[in-house]
Copies of this chain bind each other. A is one copy, B any other.
């Protein structure tokens, strides 16, 4: 016996979401059966609305409902620093640190296993920003993974001829971490990158 067909279909749809397995999808679907029709409609409409209203900023690629986005249209940012990130949420994380330069969101959903799609990086757009903003340093803030490292090196290679400094985020101990439990690669990196005190 299976669930009623429309419910089964909802489970299947929810199971397409990342990190949502069949069991979780079923739990979510049955939760949706319990909430009021108004709440369910609100959830469905919010999906449609977000999908319709949210676009990528035509300058930096950040997810936004106004173009140019809130970062690109902010006059009080440091034009000389351009931070390259993989996804829009990385912009929020980095901005939370107090960084107030500009961003460029790669939005490529890179996957090493699929050959990384490095060719899809929109370098003409990046070069355009470098020129218009008179950028003096590109900070490549890709994820600290093998994929992220490959992307960072490739970007550095392509942009270096422009004569602009290219840096990447430091590897090292996560603040609040415990040396005993930190993997040896991270620890090796933090030794290599040690700073005089």
Copies of this chain, count: 2
* A158, B1: Cα distance in complex, Å: 30
At the interface, yes or no: A50 with Cβ under 8 Å from chain B?
yes
Q: B65 contacts A50, CB within 8 Å?
A: no
At the interface, yes or no: A27 with Cβ under 8 Å from chain B?
yes
At the interface, yes or no: A146 with Cβ under 8 Å from chain B?
no
At the interface, yes or no: A182 with Cβ under 8 Å from chain B?
no
Q: B63 contacts A3, CB within 8 Å?
A: yes
Q: How large is the interface on A (under 10, 10 to 19, 20 to 34, 35 or more residues)?
A: 35 or more
Q: A46 contacts B13, CB within 8 Å?
A: yes
Which A residues have a C-beta under 8 Å from some C-beta of B? 1-7, 9-10, 13-14, 16-20, 24, 26-34, 37, 39-54, 63-66, 69-71, 87-89, 91-92, 95-96, 109
26 A-B residue contacts at CB 8 Å? A1-B92, A1-B95, A2-B92, A3-B63, A3-B88, A3-B89, A4-B63, A4-B64, A4-B65, A5-B65, A6-B46, A9-B46, A10-B46, A10-B49, A10-B50, A13-B47, A18-B27, A19-B27, A19-B28, A26-B89, A30-B63, A30-B89, A32-B47, A37-B51, A40-B51, A44-B47
